[in-house]
């Protein structure tokens, strides 16, 4: 493994860690809203499932169309970027509520 690959995988490891931290925040906000119940909680639960299905379909489409890099590192980074954007959007939306 050359230094470029090493640096790429180190950045990818950091991105994985950041995704897990960001997703944990979103999960906490969502669970608070869902457990509060009512129409807002029900709407959030439905939105959560819809967004997860849509995100995986979008990623599969990107993969099958060749929009993701074909190398292991590139595909991993593309996948992380895809999900980090989704999680960031949810984090922003949920923090406003």
* pLDDT digits 0-9 by tens, 67-96: 999 899 999 999 999 999 999 999 999 998
Domain locations in the chain?
3-96
Give per-residue pLDDT as tens, 23-52.
999 999 999 999 999 999 999 999 999 999
Q: Which whole number is the average pLDDT over 12-30?
A: 97
> Does residue 21 carry a pLDDT above 80?
yes
- Check residue 61 and report its DSSP letter: H
């Amino acid at each position: 493994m050359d230094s470029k690959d090493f640096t790429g995988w180190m950045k990818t490891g950091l991105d994985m860690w950041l995704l897990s931290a960001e997703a944990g925040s979103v999960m906490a906000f969502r669970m608070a809203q869902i457990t509060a119940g009512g129409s807002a909680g029900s709407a959030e639960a439905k939105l959560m499932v819809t967004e997860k299905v849509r995100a995986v379909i979008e990623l599969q489409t990107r993969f099958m169309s060749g929009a993701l890099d074909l190398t292991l590192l590139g595909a991993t980074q593309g996948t992380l970027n895809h999900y980090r954007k989704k999680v960031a959007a949810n984090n922003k939306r949920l923090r406003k509520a």
